[in-house]
Amino acid sequence: MAKIIAANWKMNKLRSEAEDVAKVLGQAIRDKKVPADRTIMVFPPYLSLPPVAKALEGCERTLVGAQNFYPEESGAFTGEISLPMIQDAGAHWVLVGHSERRHILMESDEFIAKKTKYALDHGFGVVLCIGETLEEREGGKLNEVLARQISTALEPLPFDVQTLEKSLMIAYEPVWAIGTGKVAGEKEVLEAHGLVKELLGKHSVLPVLYGGSVKPGNAASLLALDNVDGLLVGGASLAAESFLAIINA
C-alpha cells in the first residue's frame, strides 16, 4: 500500500511563501522525483489554500486539505470557516482533532466526533488525529485515552469500510512528541499503532499515520514499522527540501 506523507503547516507561512514551497513540491511530483508509492497531503493555513491547491493541481496522488472547519454550512459563526468555502478554495480534506485544537482550543471528543461525521457526510476526506498527553501515558492511561478518542469519533459513522477507506485516515500523534524534538521510540510507536489497529476493530483497514517530531533522519525507520501507514509532519514539512527528503525516505 502507498505510504501517506502529510504536511501540516499550522500557523506558518505567508501566501507567497506557501505558494513557493507548493510549487517546488508540484514540480518534483510532476518530474517523478517522488516514489510512485507515496500519497502526498498538504494542509496549509486557510489563506494559502488557493495558491497551494493551484500549484499542486493535476499532480498525481496529491491531496490538499484545511487544518480545521466549522460543522455548519453558513451563518452566524464569527471567525469560522465552512466546508463549501474550503472546497471553493480547492481543498477536499480536513484535519480533525489535532492535539493543538484539543488542548489549546479546547475541542471535546464529542465536537471532534461531530466534525468527523459532518465532513464525511459532506464528501470531504478526514485525517482524524488522536494521541495521549505525557501525563496520561505516565498514568497508564494510553489504552483508555485512545479507546475513548477512537470510539467517540467512529461509533456514529455508518459502517461502510469501502467508502471510509478512501476518505478517513487516523493520525496517532503522542502529544508529548509534537514539536518537542522527542520522537516516540520504535517500541512506543509499535505498541501504540498495534493498539490503534486493534481498537479500530472493523475499521482496522483505515490507514494509521504517525506524527510527532518526524524528521528526514527518522522518517525511513518510522515508515518501516508495522502498522505505520504514513507520517503527519509539522516542523519538518515547512521547507520543501526537508519535506521532499521525508517523502523520499
- Active site members: 98, 173
Binding residue for ligand PGA, selected from 173, 207, 240, 242, defined by CB under 6 A: 173
State which residue, 42 or 236, has the beta carbon closest to ligand PGA: 236
Q: How far is the CB of 10 from ligand PGA (least distance, A)?
A: 7
For the bound state, the minimum distance from the C-beta of residue 217 to ligand PGA, rounded and expressed in Å, comes to 13
Asked whether 216 and 238 are in contact (CB, 8 A), the reply is: no
Which of 235, 243, 246, 249 lies at the binding interface for ligand PGA (CB under 6 A)? 235
Q: Cα 138 to chain center, whole Å?
A: 25
5 binds ligand PGA (CB under 6 A): no
Cα separation, 100 vs 98, in Å, equals 5
Residue 7 CB, nearest distance to ligand PGA (Å)? 9
Q: How far is the CB of 1 from ligand PGA (least distance, A)?
A: 21
Q: Applying CB under 6 A, does 234 fall inside the site for ligand PGA?
A: yes
Residue of the chain from 145, 214, 228, 249 that contacts ligand PGA (CB under 6 A): 214
* 3-class SS string, 135-175: HHHHCCCHHHHHHHHHHHHHCCCCCCHHHHHHHEEEEECCH
Which residue of the chain is nearest ligand PGA when measured via CB?
234
Q: Does 222 bind ligand PGA (CB under 6 A)?
A: no
> Which of 213, 218, 227, 242 forms a contact with ligand PGA (CB under 6 A)?
213
- The residue range among 151-159, 198-206, 222-230, 232-240 that interacts with ligand PGA, by the rule CB under 6 A, is 232-240
| Segment contacting ligand PGA by CB under 6 A, of 77-85, 144-152, 153-161, 212-220 | 212-220
Q: Is 156 in the site for ligand PGA (CB under 6 A)?
A: no
Considering the rule CB under 6 A, would residue 179 count as an interface residue with ligand PGA?
A: yes
Residue 245 Cβ, how far from ligand PGA at the closest point, in Å?
14
Q: By the criterion CB under 6 A, which residues form the site for ligand PGA? A: 8, 173, 178-179, 211-214, 232-236
